[in-house]
Structures are given as C-alpha cells and as structure tokens.
Amino acid sequence: MRLFSFPTAALEKAVAKRVLTLEPVARDWFTERWAQKPYKKSFLEKKAVPLVIFIAKGKNWSDAEFEDELQSWDVNFYPVEIDVLRPIAEGDGMLQLMQKKVQPERLEKLLQHMQSRTLPGVS
C-alpha cells in the first residue's frame, strides 16, 4: 500500500506530541515500548504510515479500492496505540491539509477498522 514517502521524522514528532496527552499509565506503557527500536519501527511502518496513506491517498480511491486497502491493512492495535493515532486520523496538527476533502464516512470506517482490531491491553 505504500504509495508515497512520508517524512518519518515528522510522523515521530506527531506521535511524541500525542503521547504527552495520554493518561499517566497509558503514557508509561507506550513510552516504554516506543523506546525500543523494533517496536518504534514496526509501529511507524505498519500502523502510523499506513494511516497517513489512507488519509492522504484514500480520498481519491474508489469505494472498492478503499475497502480493498482497508481489508488488507491486517494489523492489530492496543487501545493506547489507537489513542495515539486517533488525533492524527482526525486531522490534528500536521495532517490538517491532508485531511481536507476526506469523506467523513471513510474516516469513520477507518477508525472503526482500527477499533475492531483492538487487542486487550492498557486503555
């Protein structure tokens, strides 16, 4: 699904900003994992970057293309990860320009997909 290259440093900065807004227990849980390079790399490559691609490119896809890509995004999320990614999906901060013209129903489907793939964990 990687259709374009998004600056990883900007995405890391956005994630770090969202982590500051988490509850203390959730913040500790996430920062402990975020400090581990394999987790950080996996989180960015498999969860954050695809989310950005859905926001940036998904608005131009047909409904069938969007559904196909959504179904192929086969990752699971911990509740804390969703809390970190939700503001990015909703257009907070750096993605506000990309967020323009995203159909609300597609954004809702994207968030529902993430929520439906939630693993038990810190919330």
In this model, does residue 68 exceed pLDDT 70? yes
Task: Give domain status of residue 123, yes or no.
Answer: no
Task: Give domain status of residue 3, yes or no.
Answer: no
Task: Give domain status of residue 2, yes or no.
Answer: no
- The mean pLDDT value for 51-60 works out to 82
- Residue pair 92/52 in contact (Cβ under 8 Å)? The answer is no
pLDDT of residue 59: 78
pLDDT tens-digit readout, 71-85: 999 999 999 999 999
Q: Which domain holds residue 75?
A: 8-116
Look at 7-16, 17-26, 77-86, 94-103 and tell me which has the smallest mean pLDDT. Answer: 94-103
Task: Give domain status of residue 66, yes or no.
Answer: yes
In this model, does residue 93 exceed pLDDT 60? no
Q: How many domains does the chain have?
A: 1
Long-range contacts of 41-46 (CB under 8 A, 24+ apart): 43/15, 43/81, 44/8, 44/11, 44/12, 44/15, 46/75
Looking up tokens 């500051």, which residue turns up?
Answer: 20
Q: How far is it, in rounded angstroms, from Cα 117 to Cα 85?
A: 14
Task: Give domain status of residue 122, yes or no.
Answer: no
Task: Give domain status of residue 1, yes or no.
Answer: no
Across all residues in the chain, what is the average pLDDT? 83
Task: Give domain status of residue 54, yes or no.
Answer: yes
